[in-house]
Structure 1
Amino acid sequence: MKGIIFTEFLDIVEEAFGLDICQEMLDKAEDEGIYTAVGSYDHRALVKLIITLSKITNVPAEQLQEIYGEAVFLRLLKTLPAMDPPHQDTFSFIRSVEDHIHTEVKKLYPDATPPQFDFITQTSTKMIMDYKSARCMSHVCLGLIKGCAKHFSQELKVSMEPMNKSQSHVRFNLSLIAE
């Protein structure tokens, strides 16, 4: 997993819970917290940090993942090159993640293994897509989707349906809520 995910996670934890909680999380997880944005790290270290933070804060790990995903969306968006034409809505941006962004990430970092999105169906108001990742972090994906919708000032109803026990394959049903 690319280091930017770790560095942003630590920044968000510090902002949301304070430096003392962030340090307690690192200490209890026996993690030195030394990450670089361009480095590559085992995703299990992030999972361990999330579980440790959950124990400290009594916030469920899935909820922490979702909060993190939503908070990190704009930070990750700023690292992307400008799109031409720029995206105008949530659905077109989500499609570009698989069609463009993940492709570019693999070119820049051949060892990267980003999640895979399979698009089942889409209309102007609904999208059904499958998330597939051995990292089983679909709640981070849910948060990213919510962060994306917020960025485009769109309100979404989102449901998740695990397609297997490990949740390495999850189906997302997205519906735009008319204003």
Structure 2
Amino acid sequence: MKGIIFTEFISIVEQNFGLDISQQMFDDANDSGIYTAVGSYDHRQLIKLIISLSNITGISASQLQQTYGRLVFPSLLKALPIPNIEADDTLSFIRKVEQHIHLEVKKLYPDATPPKFIFNNQTQSTMTMDYHSSRCMGHVCMGLLEGCAHYFNQSLTITMQPMNDSQNHVRFSLTLTGN
């Protein structure tokens, strides 16, 4: 997993919970906390940090992942490998993530394994999308979808349906509910 995911997570934890909680999270996870945005790291380290933070704060790991996804969206948008990607709304941007952004990420970082989105159907205001990832971070994806809608100043209703026990396949149904 690319280091920007870790560095942004740490930044969000520090901003929202403070340095003491951040340090306790690292201590409890037996993690040095040394990450660089351009490095590559095992996603299981991020899971350990999330579980540690959940134990400290009493907030569920799934809620922390979803909140992280929502809050990290603007930073990831700025870091896109494709500058000025054109999209008029939430749903068109989500399609471009799979069609352009994930492809560029793989070109720039051959060892990267971004999630795969498969679009089952779409109208002007609805979309059904299957998320496939060995990292099983559907709640982060849900938060990213929320962050995307916020960026485009749109209201979005999202349902998330795990398609298997491991949750490496999750179906999202999205409906734009107004502007």
TM-score using structure 1 length: 0.98
Rounded to whole Å, the distance in 2 between the matches of 1:125 and 1:76 is 24
Rounded to whole Å, the distance in 1 between the matches of 2:6 and 2:103 is 21
- The amino acid of 2:83's aligned partner reads A
- The amino acid of 1:96's aligned partner reads K
Secondary structure, aligned partner of 1:143:
helix
Aligned to 2:125: 125
- The amino acid of 2:130's aligned partner reads D
Kindly state the Cα deviation for residue 88 of structure 1 after the two structures are TM-superposed: 1.1
Aligned to 1:107: 107
The runs of at least 4 aligned residues of structure 1 exceeding 4 Å deviation read none
Aligned Cα RMSD in Å?
0.8
**1:13-162 correspondence to structure 2 within 5 Å:** 13-80=13-80, 81-83=82-84, 86-162=86-162
Secondary structure, aligned partner of 2:178:
coil
Rounded to whole Å, the distance in 2 between the matches of 1:68 and 1:162 is 19
Rounded to whole Å, the distance in 2 between the matches of 1:5 and 1:154 is 25
TM-score using structure 2 length: 0.98
- The amino acid of 1:82's aligned partner reads P
Rounded to whole Å, the distance in 1 between the matches of 2:25 and 2:57 is 10
Give the % identical residues: 63
Kindly state the Cα deviation for residue 82 of structure 1 after the two structures are TM-superposed: 2.2
- The amino acid of 1:43's aligned partner reads H
Kindly state the Cα deviation for residue 94 of structure 1 after the two structures are TM-superposed: 0.4
**For structure 1, which runs of at least 5 residues remain unmatched after alignment?**
none
Aligned to 1:9: 9
Rounded to whole Å, the distance in 2 between the matches of 1:88 and 1:76 is 18
